[in-house]
């Protein structure tokens, strides 16, 4: 099946053409980062307007670079949630219009589900696996038994890992999105230079907490204002990044041990982080676990990643009607219902 996929859940306007849920024929991502950077974070109203301005061009560009016409499309998959309501609605309205005009089926896909399945675009992955979803809005550990079969093992009780990166970056005066800037400075710093807490490292089951770590950075800055510059800033970034990675890696190791799962997927924007990637690689060698972390372009928000679940659902007759609406909050555990109803 040749699928057109559309993603507008946050500040990236993206469209892709994916064949049979595995082969990306084209993928176009138009980022709004420069616009939101002025405000230090994503402004939802501006995000919606930017999506509106850009979506038609992005869809046309992805068709053109795949050498296709609208008439070649056999299905449309769109991010239905979670995400910013107004931003999601732009993608959904576009997807509905194209599906209606082309007389092809339409399906709404969960954004986090798309992140978790992105590794399938780069090679075969077998079920079941443990998945760590780390993005601006999520820090969740899931057991994944198949497409549409997700069980939450743990999640953040406050800030998501990406949110913590972005908030700490703001505290030290780095531009949005903070994760990228902190990663770059951390490469030159000493991760042991600033003592910072590892919240819930050995408590709270598989749950995470990052807001206390952010407060610890704030307290440090009040006592050491010079940490906002030069080598001291590099050391602070490296120490903060190490604290986040330690918690993510330790909880992931505990979940692997407890579930006995032998495969691990790490996905979402924070999976671009260089220290997290290298620590997860070490963990996988140490525990003899098969690791799948998508290439950075497939970790950050994109539309190609929708192709995996989108194809699976449409091929199995799971479609969304034109009443499809945005789901700003949509936990992954709720997804299995849509499959069970249809007996997949």
Interaction site with ligand KG4 (CB under 6 A): 10, 135-137, 162, 165-166, 177-180, 183, 268-270, 272-273, 300-301
User: Least distance from C-beta 138 to ligand KG4, angstroms?
Assistant: 7
Shortest CA distance to 143 belongs to which of 160, 126, 133, 128?
A: 128
Question: Which of ligand KG4, Zn ion, none lies near 270, with the C-beta cut-off 5 to 8 A by kind?
Answer: ligand KG4
∠ CA 333-338-344, nearest 5°, is 110
- Please report how the helices 161-171 and 230-259 are oriented relative to each other, as an axis angle in degrees rounded to 10: 170
Residue 244-283 contact track with Zn ion, rule CB under 5 A, x = bound: ----------------------------------------
Q: Minimum Å distance from CB 75 to Zn ion?
A: 22
Pull the structure tokens for residue 176.
């949005």
Nearer to ligand KG4, 135 or 209 (CB): 135
Q: Which is nearer to ligand KG4, 67 or 296 (CB)?
A: 296
Cβ neighbour number for residue 316 with a 10 Å cutoff: 14
Residue 78 host element (H or E): strand 75-81
- Considering the complex, what minimum distance in angstroms separates the CB of residue 268 from ligand KG4? 4
Binding-site member from 84, 301, 303, 332 for Zn ion (CB under 5 A): 301
166, interface contact from Zn ion, ligand KG4, none, CB < 5-8 Å by kind = ligand KG4
Q: Which does 300 bind (CB under 5 to 8 A by kind): ligand KG4, Zn ion, none?
A: ligand KG4
E strand or H helix at 223: helix 211-223
Report the residue number, 21 or 177, with the smaller CB distance to ligand KG4: 177
Reported as type and span, the H/E element at residue 88 is helix 85-102
Backbone angles phi, psi at 262, to 5 degrees: -110, 5
Region binding Zn ion by CB under 5 A among candidate stretches 23-31, 119-127, 280-288, 295-303: 295-303
b/e code 183-212 from CB counts within 10 Å (16+ = b) = bebbeebebebbebeebbeeeeebbbbbee
Comparison of 3 and 134: residue with beta carbon closer to Zn ion: 134
DSSP string for 122-160:
SS--PSSEEEEEESSS-EEEEEEEETTEEEEEEEBSS--
What is the smallest separation between the CB atom of 269 and Zn ion, expressed in angstroms? 6
Which residues, in sequence order, are bridge partners of residue 133? Answer: 140, 267
In whole angstroms, the minimum distance from the beta carbon of 279 to ligand KG4 comes to 12
Q: Which is nearer to ligand KG4, 279 or 301 (CB)?
A: 301
Number of H helices, E strands in the chain: 12, 10
- Residue 54 within binding range of Zn ion, rule CB under 5 A: no
What is the nearest approach in angstroms of Zn ion to the Cβ of residue 243? 23
Whole-number minimum distance, CB 342 to ligand KG4, in Å? Answer: 28
Q: In terms of CB distance, is 26 or 135 closer to ligand KG4?
A: 135
- Pick the closest to residue 106 from 72, 79, 66 (CA basis): 79
Residue for token pair 């092809």: 104
* Least gap, CB of 340 to ligand KG4 (angstroms): 27
Nearer to ligand KG4, 129 or 240 (CB): 240
3-state helix, strand and coil shares in percent for the chain, rounded to the nearest 5: 50, 20, 30
Indicate whether 135 belongs to the interface with Zn ion (CB under 5 A): yes
Query: What residue 21 binds from Zn ion, ligand KG4, none (CB within 5 to 8 A, per partner kind)?
Result: none
The binding site for Zn ion (CB under 5 A) comprises 135, 301
């Amino acid at each position: 099946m040749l699928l057109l996929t559309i993603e507008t859940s946050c500040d990236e306007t993206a469209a892709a053409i994916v064949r049979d849920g595995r082969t990306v024929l084209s993928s176009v991502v138009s980022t709004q980062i420069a616009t939101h950077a002025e405000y230090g974070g994503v402004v939802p109203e501006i995000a919606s307007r930017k999506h509106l301005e850009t979506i038609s061009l992005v869809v046309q560009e992805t068709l053109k670079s795949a050498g296709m016409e609208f008439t070649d499309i056999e299905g449309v998959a769109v991010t239905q949630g979670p995400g910013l309501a107004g931003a999601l609605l732009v993608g959904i309205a576009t997807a509905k219009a194209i599906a209606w005009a082309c007389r092809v089926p339409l399906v709404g896909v969960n954004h986090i589900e798309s992140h978790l399945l992105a590794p399938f675009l780069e090679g075969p992955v077998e079920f079941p696996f443990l998945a760590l979803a780390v993005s601006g809005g999520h820090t969740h550990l899931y057991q994944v038994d198949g497409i549409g079969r997700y069980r939450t093992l743990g999640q953040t009780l406050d800030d998501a890992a990406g949110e913590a990166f972005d908030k700490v970056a703001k505290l030290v005066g780095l531009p949005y999105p903070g994760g990228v800037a902190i990663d770059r400075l951390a490469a030159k710093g000493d991760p042991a230079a600033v003592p910072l807490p590892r919240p819930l490292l050995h408590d709270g089951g598989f749950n995470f907490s990052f807001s206390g770590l952010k407060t610890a950075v704030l307290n440090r800055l009040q006592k050491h204002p010079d940490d906002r510059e030069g080598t001291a800033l590099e050391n602070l970034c490296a120490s903060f990044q190490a604290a986040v990675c330690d918690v993510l890696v330790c909880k992931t190791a505990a979940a692997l041990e407890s579930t006995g799962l032998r495969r691990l997927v790490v996905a979402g924007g924070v999976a671009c982080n260089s220290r997290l990637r290298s620590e997860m690689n070490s963990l996988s060698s140490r525990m003899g676990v098969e690791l799948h972390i998508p290439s950075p372009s497939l970790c950050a928000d994109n539309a190609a990643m929708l192709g995996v679940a989108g194809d699976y659902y449409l091929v199995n007759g799971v479609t969304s009607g034109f009443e499809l609406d945005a789901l700003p909050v949509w936990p992954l555990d709720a997804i299995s219902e849509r499959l069970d109803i249809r007996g997949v």
